[in-house]
Every structure is written in structure tokens, then in C-alpha cells.
Structure 1
Amino acid sequence: MTELLTAAQMRAIEQAAIESGEVTGLELMERAGQGVVEAIFEEWPELAEPVEAGRGAGPSRSPEYLGKDEEARRAVVLCGPGNNGGDGFVVARLLKERGWEVEVFLYGDPENLPPDAKMNYERWLEFAPARPIAEFQRPLGFSADIYVDAIFGTGLKRPLGDLHNELWQVFDADTGLPRIVAIDVPSGTCSESGYVLSDCQKTPLSPGTPSHVFEAELTVTFHSPKIGHFLGGGTRNCGKLVVMEIGIPKGSNWASDRVQLCEPAVPSLCKSFWNHKYNEGHALILSGGHGKTGAARLAARGALRIGAGLVTVGSPRSAMFENAANLTAIMLQQIDGAHGVSELLEDKRFNAVCLGPGLGRGADTQAVVMAVLKENRATVLDADALTRFERKPEALFEQLHEMCVLTPHGGEFAKLFPDLAEKLNAPATTGPAYSKVDATREAAKRAGCVVLFKGPDTVIAASDGRCSVNSAHYERSAPWLATAGAGDVLAGFITGLMARGFSPMQAAETAAYIHVECALEFGPGLIAEDLPEQIPAVFRKLGL
């Protein structure tokens, strides 16, 4: 799996590589700068072409030798007071050596630069001065092909404030919408939460509101992506994310508190040709009453499609006809109340239960949830099975066990974990800011089971601290998942996988990944009913 790093973990990895003698800090900075330039040319190949083709300056074509109809490529590099600024000086020098016209502006006192950054600052001075960033407020006289944001990187601990507003006014006046390339993260973004560091709430900004962050078209980071690249507004601010290698070995930095990107447990998804349906488990999905049955059927269809051997919908008497009219391969069993659930679960072949979608929020729902939890089966709690406990969530936590998965969206999370939601939504005034990863980990520890905190940046955490992120961003952007019933299908996916024998964490990660892949497979116009029907195509792409 791809590891997502914190700023502290990345610093420790770099320092370990330096102390081992494998590489120096200067070499890492040089490789980082080279990686940024390579990423720029890969993203915009026309910028790498020779000027005589009308679209760029070649390595041997310095500006003084360009013909009157030829025009050098132009870059503005904004450097900050730390090693991120040092990377910027390397980028500026490498572009200058290719014949580009480059303007460099420095925020801070050059005498206070870290040693490696100062060395690259001095190397840049052999080409041209680095002007104070305050001078960037005056008209530049030309519009650059690219603007490199090397002001603040992963270690940012305070908001940009007026610095952002002043610089952005120049962009608006001189270039309209500039092509910004950010090194590591767009300045102003917390690399561990994805939030913009400011005094504002962590809510989507309305049009025209100053964001206090640079919104890049391309973000280039190194070795491994950072957590904030896949959370909150970080995904929007980064534009396109590219990870460049800088020669640090992989696999030596897997800390116990690591965060990973979700990947499916592909080998476990395979079915053996000699298996019987009962070898693949029997999932029970509890339905709501008359007029509230659709959510359970969506979950049941998801459980069946993802491979559960058998799926039964447990329905109250009032909804039996309604469910019977809409089910074929999925079986139907009348269950009335908590006592009926307990009786049915005496059949040990029911090895996974999903309850909550469309179940209702009456007193009987709480009794049904408690009856299921007492049977100690693999259990997915969603929707009404969670919100029914908003007045006394500890009553639920006392009954949860390690074979449970909770699947709240933001509103349901706030009802179960109001203090964590308050911390998550408080202004991010300093970095590293409290993140969705932090909140989900704390929730899982409190609940004593796996918590899947839904959203485009779904976070999954186990009570022992394991954590992963299933991001529907960048090349996996799936906005069509914002449709009624999509979460019910996800709950069914998880239930079906646990029926097949997946552990709760493995089931949640695999289901979340496949959920997004199904949306990508279908594309625009997706509704919840379409999701389970994409599983065959998704499985084929996974090589099953």
C-alpha cells in the first residue's frame, strides 16, 4: 500500500538517509528541484520544446541568442525562508540553465536560511539577484509561463494571512489565473489535515471569499504523498498531484502509526471453484417497515454482488409484500422486533449482519441493535442504527465489539462523537491541524471497533490505531457518488465481505475502494442501483 506521511515522518526519513551516509541534504535538495522541473515538462511538454518551434527555450539557447521572433520561456519562483525555498532556488537555477528568463523573490532574511537552502540561494546569486518578496507587489512587466510556489512546505505552522492576499492581488492584476506549480503543498495548506490554516471555519468557502492559500495547477511532492494531499481542501488546492522519487529507499519508514491509501485485498476476493455457497457466508440485512425498504434492498444487492454466498433480507410483517415484490436471488424472512432477530440468529450460518439503512429511529430500533450485538456476529451499523443513539452514544459503545464496523457520514459522526466533530470543525489556526484522520482514530478507539468516516476523503480506522484513506480525488474523482443510497450500497459491500470471512478493517478498506471503482466504471448519471451492477467489470479489471 502507498504510505501517507506526516511532516515529522518525512523529516525523520530524510534525516535517517543523511545520517546513514547514503545522501547529503544538498543532494536531496538538488534531486527535489530536478524532480519539479521534470514534472513541469511532463505536465506541459510544450514548455520543454525549443524556442525555434515557437514554444520554449532549449538548453543551449540562452536569451541573448534568440532571434527577434523568438521569445524565451519565463518563470517566477517565490521562495520561502526554509528548505522549501531551497528547492525553489534549485528550480530557478535549472530553468535558467535551460535558457529561461527567471525572476526569484525571497520571503524572509537570506541570512536566516537553513544551510542547504542558503547554499542554493548563493548558487542562484551567480545568475541573478533574489529580490525581496515585497517587490513582487509591483507590476512584473510580463506574465510568466509558470509561477513556482516554494514559500512554505510541509512544516507550515501558521496562516499566510496578508502575504497571500498581497501576492494574489498581483496575480489578478498581471496574469488573471496563473499557472502555479507548488512544491510539496500549496503554501497555506496544512500537509497533515488538508485544511487551510486561517482564522476561518473549516467549511467550504463561498465564491469570492479569500482562501488564504495558493491553489496550484500542479503539486510536486517527494518520496511519498502526505496525508493532507488526500484530505479536505488539500485535494482541491493541489490541482494535480505528482510524487517524484529523490533516491530514498522505500520500505524502511513504516511506523506503527502509519496511514495508508486504501487498496483492495484482491487475492481474498477470488472464489475457489470447489467452494459451496455456504463457504462464502450468509449475510442478513434488516429492513425498515412499509415504505422504508429500499435502503435495505440496496445493501442486500451490494452484499450479494460482492460475493456473499447467500443474502437474506429480514423484514417486518408490514413490509413483507413490498420486499417480496422486489427480491429474487435475495431471500426474505419475516422478523418482528428484537425477539425475532434473536431467534433468527440462533442459526449460526448467518455470519454477518447489516442494520440501519431505512430501519427507523424508534425505540424498537435500539432494541434490535442491542439484540444483534449480543450475538457477537460480524456487524455493520449504519444510518438509523447510529443516530438512534445520539442522546446516549455510550450505551452503544458499551455493547460494540471488535467485529463491528460503524459507517457514519459527517452528520452521523457528529451525533455519536460530538466533541470530536467540534474539534474537527474548529478553526485551523496552527499546524499541524486536527484532521479527519485524528478524529476517526479517536472515534475507533472510543468505540472499540472499526469506524469508516464517509466522504470524498473516506477515512477508515481500527481501535488499535491502524488507519487508511480512500480518496475519491485526482484520477479517482467520483462526484457521482453524491447520490441517495450510495452509502447503503457501501454498507452492503462491507457486510458481504465480512460474510465471506474478511476482517472488519480489510472488509471496510476493500469495500470503500471497490465502491469508488464502481462509480468510475459507470460515470455520470450514476444512481445507487447502478453501483452493485458494476462489480463484475471492476472485478475483471482487478484480474479476478
Structure 2
Amino acid sequence: MLFGTEILTTAQMRAIESDAMASGGVSGVQLMQRAGAAVAGQIRLRWPKPGRVTVLCGPGNNGGDGYVIARLLARTDWQVRVLGMDNEPGPDAAEMKRCWQKAGPILPLTRAELRRNEADIYVDAIFGTGLTRPPVGEIAEVLDYLGGSDGDDGHVRQRLVTVDCPSGLCMDSGAFLGKPRQPSADDLHARLTITFDSPKPGHLLERGPACCGELVVADIGLHDWRVRASGPEQDHRTAHLTAIWPRFRVPDARRPAAAQGIWAEWLEKREGSGGHKFSHGHAMVLAGPPGHGGAARLAARAALRVGAGLVTICPPGAAMIEHAGPPDALMRRAVDDATALSDLLQDQRIGALCIGPGCGVERARELLPPLLDSGRACVLDADALTALAAMGWNGLHDRCVLTPHGGEFSRLFPDLAERLAARPDHGPALSKLDATREAARRSGAVVLLKGPDTVIAAPPRRDKPNATGHAVIHSAFDIPWLATAGAGDVLAGIIAGLLARGLTPLTAASLGSFLHGATARGIGPGLIADDLPDRIPGAFLDLVP
């Protein structure tokens, strides 16, 4: 089960638009008019009293959308000022430009002209999703001004509406082309962004969520061609990419019944099982030496709360005493070394294991070989990832889930981390999505790269090694209090519990990330990791259809 909203890369979006226009079912002008109408409608919805608007039109199709917006707002008594370029765009944008010129002038798109008159709203229709190089010259100066380079961050951003994306933002990565990957005070921030048909990765990754503001996904009539592009004969155009509950609005027809789907699967696991604990999965958490048991207990409690029928925590014998407290539902069994683990794994009822939280690097290094040799579903987190980085990839398989944060990812995949941190001088820039997918391909395991823009990627299918595995983006920029010690241990336990219940690794990681975020969102600021496991049942109750 995969759930959420489909995401398209910029190349996939262009391919679908091309298919639609080549079919004769819709023209480029019609798509442009629909896009412009969607933006104008969203502006009028939020600013019902007409005022002064400055529309900034770029040299291509995004600028064409801008001319449509200007014309439609002028018809509803807005005072419209258009700044554009002295160029001849493509035929569709050129037609929209001529239509505007019958209604009003086009002033130069310069910083000086932009500053000449104050507006109630500014519309950025300069560059859209297809930008491949950093803005330069006068346009770069205009964007710097919109970003607050005059020292007043609030000068424009609370009144800025962007078409597709803030200009200069790479829609495949969420990075600003020609700028460092770290946030900057003069990054272009919008109050509202309207994009079309489907979200793009850059709306959800890196700077995208913060800089796009409220994201609205408008339907412009491409649904039929997008569905056709998802057929088995069109694998190169299929998205294979999903977003879990990001903060954007999608058209009613595109809004997935994800909550009902999750809940239905949860109930299905309960039906016909006879209620025996082993029928709901046995998860094991491999704990570490004395004094390091807290992280493993967080993971074990989370596995219990997510519905595993049985959870056993397995420290070395010397540390058993510190695990004697609650929860009483937790089983305890000593595992001193690799031989003991191998013997324990003869029990075929053990469905999944979690190793890493509080385990200790040396102990993880000893226990990983028998664990991986068993072929059992497993979550490798924290110390297990550090041990794995030293050991190499031998033994990993597609039932493994790796859950690194950025630092652990850089130890596991140093070349990918280095490329991901480099300033992108052209687009499409390497994205967190690209890096995670490549990590999954190399390792052969599911990789969950944590962060406010968590990305989960499955390795390619064995029969299609050159294809791209499915990936999921979980955008949780609105839960900053989740960045607290131990939260990652809870996530590892949730995923292990879901694996033990029989979910596939990608689904367990995706659903686990969603539950982790939903639980944290329900707790609010002041959260500590100890709060999370016991609030998981509340997150499930919120999913009741």
C-alpha cells in the first residue's frame, strides 16, 4: 500500500503537457489561459477587494501565464501594472502578450521600474518550473529586491504570489540555482504559490516549503493524459513518486482517501487472525551495554504501540537489570554475542528486528552479520549505520530499511552527500530525492533519509535494475519540535513494528514516517521523545473514517 499525492518531475510534467497538446485535445493557449485563470481566481479569493497589482512577466511561458493573469484582474477592477521583457516569446506566450497589449502597456522589467510604484500584490511570473540556469542581469536584481535585499524582509514577501514557484528555485531539487544550499536572508519568499496539475519535488524539498508559502495545486485539465502516462507501456513517464500529507491544497478529484486506506489496511491485519499475538508479528530490538538502554526502550515501546503482537528487547546479560521496569508488556531476553543471536533467529516467528538505538558501534558490528544473513526484515539505525559504514554493503537486501540522518548519510555515501551540499550552478540540480534513490540502488535496501523533508526510496526491482524504484517525500516542515533527542529511535521502532506486522519495507517506512509526524503534530511544542510512543494510538484514532 502506498498512499498520498502523486508528484511529477519537471520533465514528466512537460511530457504530459506535450502528449496532451499533440493529441489535439487541448492547445497550449488553452492550458495557458486555464493556468492564468486559476492564479487570478486564487488572488481574488484572498484579496476580494480590488487593489493595485504588479505582474512581472518573464520571457517564456511563465510570462505568458502572467499576461493572462493581468488581463483577467484588469477586468475585475484591479489597477494592473505589467513589467515585461522586450523579446518575442514562444507562439502561445506571444499571443497572450499581444492580448494584454490591447488592454495596457508593458513597462521594462527592471529593479528601478519595480520600485517606482508600490503595489498591494506582486505576481512573480518570471521563471517557472523549467529553469536550468541562475537568473542574471536585470532579472537577478529584480529577484534580489523581491527577496528583501533592501534590508526589509517583509517589504514584498507577504504580498508576493508566485506562478509555479518562486523564480530561481529549481523545481526538481528545491535549491536556488547559483546560490549555496543553505538558507539565505534574501531568498525569495512567497505568501502564496499556485502550481498546476501536480506538485513538483522542489515544492517539498530543501527551500521549497519555506519559500513557496501556501501551495495550491490547480487543475488545468491534464488528468486524462497523466493517467495514460502511468500505464505499463509508459514506465519512463510514470511518477513513481508520492508525497505524504504535505501542506498543499489539491483539487477535490485529486485528493486521495489516504486516511481510509491506512485504516482499512490496519483493520485488515486484524481480521481472520484469531487474535493470537504471533499473528500480529514479533519484533525484536537489539539493545546495548549497561547505561545505554533508553534509546532501545523507546524503540521497543513504539513497536508495541504500533501494533506488533509481541516485542522483545535483547540487551547483553549484564544490562538486563536496567530493562526490568515498565512497560510490563515488553519481553526481555539476553543476547550476548553473534552466536546467541544466530541461535535466537532460528525461531521463524520473529518477523522483524531493529538494531542501532543505544546498541553501541562495536556490538552492532558484531551482530550485523548474523542478522543480515538471516534475511529477516530489519531496521538499521544510529550505531548500526555507523558500523555499516565501516563494514561495507555485504549482506544488505531489500527487506532492510536504513534510517540515516544527514550526518550518518554522509558517512554511508560520502560522494552523494558532497554533491548534495555543493552549490548548484545549473538545473536540474541534484536533489535529496536523487541522492536517496541512488543510495537505495547502491545498497539494495530501502533508504529513509530523515529531515523536515524526509525522503524514502526503494531500490529498483530486480527484473528492472536500470529503472527507478518508488520514492516517497514526507514534508513535515511544520513540526520543528520533532527535532529532539530520541525521536529517531521512536521512528525506528515504529517501522520495525510495522515490518513485523507484515507490511513491505517501503510501506512500513512511509506509513511509519507519517505516524511519527502525525503523533508529534498532535503533541505540539515541548515534545520530548518519551511522549511519542504512548500518543501513537491517538494518531490512529484520527484516521478512523
TM-score w.r.t. structure 1 length? Answer: 0.89
Write out per-residue CA displacement over residues 376-395 of structure 1, whole angstroms, 9 at most, x where no aligned residue: 11111001001123334x2x
**Distance (whole Å) between structure 2 residues aligned to residue 333 and residue 253 of structure 1:** 52
How many residue pairs match? The answer is 503
Aligned to 1:242: 216
Q: Which amino acid counterpart does residue 527 of structure 1 have in structure 2?
A: I
Question: For 2:399 and 2:90, how far apart are their aligned partners in 1?
Answer: 50
Measure, in 2, the Cα distance between the counterparts of 1:202 and 1:161. 18
Give the equivalent residue in structure 2 for 1:66. Answer: none
- Once the two structures are superposed, the pairs formed by residues 160-239 of structure 1 within 5 Å of their partners are 160-162=135-137, 163-169=139-145, 172=150, 176-178=155-157, 179-198=159-178, 200-205=179-184, 208=185, 210-211=186-187, 214-239=188-213
Could you tell me which residue of structure 2 aligns to residue 64 of structure 1? none
CA–CA separation in structure 2 for the residues paired with 1:497 and 1:432: 35
Partner of 2:247: none
* SS of match in other structure, 2:321: helix
Distance 2:161 2:309 in 1: 50
Alignment of 1:343-422 (within 5 A): 343-362=343-362, 364-392=363-391, 394=392, 397-422=393-418
Q: 1:120 corresponds to which residue?
A: 96
Aligned-partner Cα distance in 1 for 2:141–2:528: 41
**Which residue is equivalent to 2:342?**
342
**In structure 2, C-alpha distance between the alignment counterparts of 1:106 and 1:327, rounded to whole Å:** 66
Match of 1:352, SS? Answer: strand
Equivalent in 474, 486, 510 of residue 470 of structure 1: 474
The C-alpha deviation readout for 1:282-323, integer Å capped at 9, x for no partner, is 000011111110110111111111110000000112211111
Task: Report the counterpart of residue 26 of structure 1 in structure 2.
Answer: 29
Q: Distance in 2 between matches of 1:415 and 1:203?
A: 20
Q: Distance in 2 between matches of 1:161 and 1:514?
A: 43
Residue 390 of structure 2: SS of its match in structure 1?
coil
Q: How does 1:290-305 map to 2 (within 5 A)?
A: 290-305=290-305
Match of 1:266 in 2: 263
Structure 2: tracts of 5 or more residues without a match: 231-236, 245-257, 461-468
Unaligned runs of 5+ in 1: 49-55, 58-72
Cα distance in 1 for partners of 2:442, 2:423 equals: 24
Summarize deviations over 1:390-421 as a string: whole Å, max 9, x none: 334x2xx1211121111111000110111111
* Deviation by residue 1:480-525 (Cα, 9 ceiling, x = unmatched): 1111111111111110011000011111111111111111111111
Q: Which residue of 2 aligns with 1:86?
A: 64
Shift in CA distance, 161/294, structure 1 to aligned 2, threshold 3 Å: farther
Q: Helix, strand or coil: the match of 2:229?
A: coil
Paired letter, 2:376? R
The residue type equivalent to 2:470 in the other structure is R
Q: Select the structure of larger CA radius of gyration.
A: 1
Question: Which string of whole-angstrom CA distances, capped at 9 and with x for unpartnered residues, describes residues 151-206 of structure 1?
Answer: 000000111245333454476489823410000010010000001111x431233x
| Residue type at the aligned position of 2:243 | L
Select 1:101's aligned residue among 41, 66, 79.
Answer: 79
- Distance in 2, Cα, partners of 1:456 & 1:224: 21
What is the identity percentage for the equivalent residue pairs of Structure 1 and Structure 2?
49
8 Å CA contact 2:385, 2:408 repeated in 1: yes
What are the superposed Cα offsets for residues 42-97 of structure 1, whole Å, 9 maximum, x if unpaired?
3x2xx22xxxxxxx23xxxxxxxxxxxxxxx1000111111000000000001111
CA contact (8 A) 1:110 1:118 kept: no
In 1: Cα distance, 2:151 partner to 2:180 partner: 28
Which moves more between the two structures, 154-163 or 228-237? 154-163
Cα distance in structure 2, aligned partners of 1:283 and 1:276: 15
Distance 1:234 1:389 in 2: 32
Partner AA of 2:103 in structure 1? F
The answer to whether the 8 A contact 1:406-1:452 is kept is yes
For 2:114 and 2:470, the matched residues in 1 are separated by 51
Q: CA deviation at 1:257?
A: 5.1
After superposition, the CA RMSD in angstroms is 1.8
The answer to whether residue 38 in structure 2 is matched with residue 41 in structure 1 is: no
Q: Which residue does the alignment assign to 1:110?
A: 87
Taking structure 2 as the reference length, the TM-score comes to: 0.89
The one-letter amino acid paired with 1:230 is L
Report the Cα distance in structure 1 between the residues aligned to 2:378 and 2:5, rounded to whole angstroms.
Answer: 28
- Asked whether the 8 Å contact 2:278–2:309 carries over to 1, the reply is yes
Q: C-alpha distance in 2, partners of 1:243/1:339? A: 55
Which piece of structure 1 moves more, 249-258 or 442-451? 249-258
Q: Distance in 1 between matches of 2:447 and 2:113?
A: 51
1:114-165 deviation per Cα after TM superposition (whole angstroms, max 9, x unaligned): 111010100000111111212x414645321110000000000111245333
The structure 2 residue matched to 1:457, chosen from 447, 453, 457, is 453
What secondary structure does 1:78 align onto? strand
- 1:77 aligned partner, one-letter code: V
**Secondary structure, counterpart of 1:203 in structure 2:** coil
Q: Deviations over 1:432-484 (max 9, x none)?
A: 000011101110011111111111111111111111111113xxx21111111
Deviations 1:345-383 (A, max 9, x none): 121111110000111112x32120111111111111001
| Structure 1 contact 443–451 (Cα < 8 Å) conserved | yes
Matched residue SS, 1:88? helix
Amino acid at match of 1:115: P
